[in-house]
């Protein structure tokens, strides 16, 4: 038995935040029915063609789902949605601001008819406030939340390389839905969940916010290095490769000086005798570390760091991650089906083996439309008429 066996989720979703949330639910065994626009579908299907002709974002976020093509604005759509929601546990949507309410799919409109239904709305800025109707995409929320102001090099900000605002909102939606399911088991009633991408990212920004509390200066942009702890970041070795290392306390600083740099006196030099002083003198300290590392290969540096029990990492490429020996040793890769063939997939963190999860294929657009309509009691000729009218 999987944790969410028997849970039915209807999702009106596109892009990343909601699809990433509902994929987590599907991984745990929920039946997830994805409602998509006929002929077009989730617009993330067209982002790129990097995975055997399919979009990388879409393959990542949409396995184990059933795809129903349906024009939500067609008069016939209301009866189909009613049939889907009648025994559903969760409705998830991240349509354009106000769109779900205009379709009669707000929590207020649904609660009397479906009192056990949990309704999760994911939006850029939330269901009220002056920004309620403002469009929001991942990069825009990275900017609005202050993330860009502390990320990148001193001379220019940089976005995160993946959709962290979408991921943050998706994960808060996921955990709130799990909490709502537990709460419903006690009360018998569903509830509304309102997840904002902005609020999700600002929660993740709480360390730099507190660092800049009461008018204090914010963390400076420091590239791939830590802004407020030093040495903590990338350093070149003599073979041209980069080693990441991180020191967290004064004991580690002393060990680093004696066992890695082979200069124990450096640990007590007044310029570097506390983290705050090392941060202030980071350029001078960086020159010392780079000079020491220039005599060593990256593997030699890593061996010294490991022997001294100083945290370190290689700066891996995407190719390196696909072949990472730790992931391989722990059996973290499996495969998932797609309309164009099987592709590798990472087992979700916390799931011990593939048998503990649901791992269905990534669906083609509208792949399950006929089966779902038959399940709702539609006859083949009725389905044909709906297709001819471009409703499904």
Q: Look at residue 352 in the predicted model and tell me its pLDDT.
A: 86
Q: Look at residue 385 in the predicted model and tell me its pLDDT.
A: 96
| Cα–Cα distance for residue pair 361/365, rounded to 1 Å | 12
| Cα–Cα distance for residue pair 313/47, rounded to 1 Å | 32
For this structure, is 166 an active site residue? Answer: yes
**What structural domains and CATH numbers belong to the chain?**
8-204+328-388 (3.40.50.10540), 232-315 (3.30.1540.10)
Q: Look at residue 343 in the predicted model and tell me its pLDDT.
A: 97
For residue 150, give every residue at least 6 positions away whose Cβ sits within 8 Å of its Cβ, in sequence order, or none: 208, 218, 219, 220, 221, 227
| Cα–Cα distance for residue pair 266/257, rounded to 1 Å | 6
Catalytic, out of 133, 166, 214, 306: 166
DSSP string of 140-181? HHHHHTTGGGGSEETTEE---SS-HHHHHHHHHHHHHHHHHH
| Cα–Cα distance for residue pair 384/16, rounded to 1 Å | 32
For residue 342, give every residue at least 6 positions away whose Cβ sits within 8 Å of its Cβ, in sequence order, or none: 335, 336
Phi, psi for 32 (deg, rounded to 5): -110, 120
pLDDT tens sequence for the chain (392 residues): 899 999 999 999 999 999 999 999 999 999 999 999 999 999 999 999 999 999 999 999 999 999 999 999 999 999 999 999 999 999 999 999 999 999 999 999 999 999 999 999 999 999 999 999 999 999 999 999 999 999 999 999 999 999 999 999 999 999 999 999 999 999 999 999 999 999 999 999 999 999 999 999 999 998 899 999 999 999 999 999 999 999 999 999 999 999 999 999 999 999 999 999 999 999 999 999 999 999 999 999 999 999 999 999 999 999 999 999 999 999 999 999 999 999 999 999 999 889 889 999 999 999 999 999 999 999 999 999 999 999 99
- Helices and strands, number each (H, E), in the chain: 17, 13
Which has the closest alpha carbon to 278: 252, 242, 315?
252
């Amino acid at each position: 038995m999987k944790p969410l066996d028997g849970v039915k989720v209807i999702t009106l979703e596109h892009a990343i935040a909601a699809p990433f949330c509902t994929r987590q639910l599907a991984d745990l065994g929920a039946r997830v029915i994805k409602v998509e626009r006929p002929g077009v579908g989730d617009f993330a299907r067209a982002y790129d063609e990097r995975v055997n002709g399919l979009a990388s974002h879409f393959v990542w976020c949409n396995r184990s789902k059933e795809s129903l093509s349906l024009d939500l604005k067609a008069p016939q759509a209301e009866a189909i949605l009613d049939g889907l929601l009648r025994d559903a546990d969760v409705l998830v949507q991240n349509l354009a601001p106000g769109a779900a309410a205009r379709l009669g799919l707000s929590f207020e409109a649904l609660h009397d008819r479906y009192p056990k239904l949990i309704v999760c709305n994911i939006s850029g800025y939330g269901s009220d406030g002056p920004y309620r109707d403002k469009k929001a995409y991942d990069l825009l929320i990275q900017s609005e939340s202050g993330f860009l102001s502390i990320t990148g090099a001193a001379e220019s900000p940089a976005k995160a390389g993946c959709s962290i605002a979408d991921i943050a909102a998706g994960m808060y939606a996921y955990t709130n839905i799990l909490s709502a399911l537990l709460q419903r088991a006690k009360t018998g009633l569903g509830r509304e969940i309102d997840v904002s991408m902005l609020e999700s990212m600002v929660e993740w920004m709480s360390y730099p916010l507190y660092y800049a509390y009461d008018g204090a200066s914010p963390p400076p942009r420091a590239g791939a290095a830590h802004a407020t702890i030093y040495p903590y970041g990338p350093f070149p070795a003599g073979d041209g490769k980069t080693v990441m290392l991180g020191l967290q306390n004064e004991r580690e600083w002393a060990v680093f000086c004696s066992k890695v740099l082979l200069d124990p006196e450096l640990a007590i030099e007044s310029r570097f005798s506390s983290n705050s002083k090392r941060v202030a003198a980071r350029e001078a300290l960086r020159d010392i570390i780079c000079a020491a590392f220039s005599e060593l290969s990256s593997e030699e540096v890593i061996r010294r760091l490991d022997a001294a029990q100083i945290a370190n990492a290689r700066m891996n490429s995407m190719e390196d991650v696909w072949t990472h020996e730790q992931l391989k040793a722990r059996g973290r890769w499996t495969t998932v089906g797609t309309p164009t063939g099987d592709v590798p997939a990472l087992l979700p963190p916390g799931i011990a083996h593939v048998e503990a999860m649901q791992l269905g294929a990534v669906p083609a657009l509208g792949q399950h439309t006929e089966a779902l309509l038959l399940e709702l009691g539609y006859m083949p000729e009725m389905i044909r008429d709906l297709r001819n009218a471009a409703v499904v």
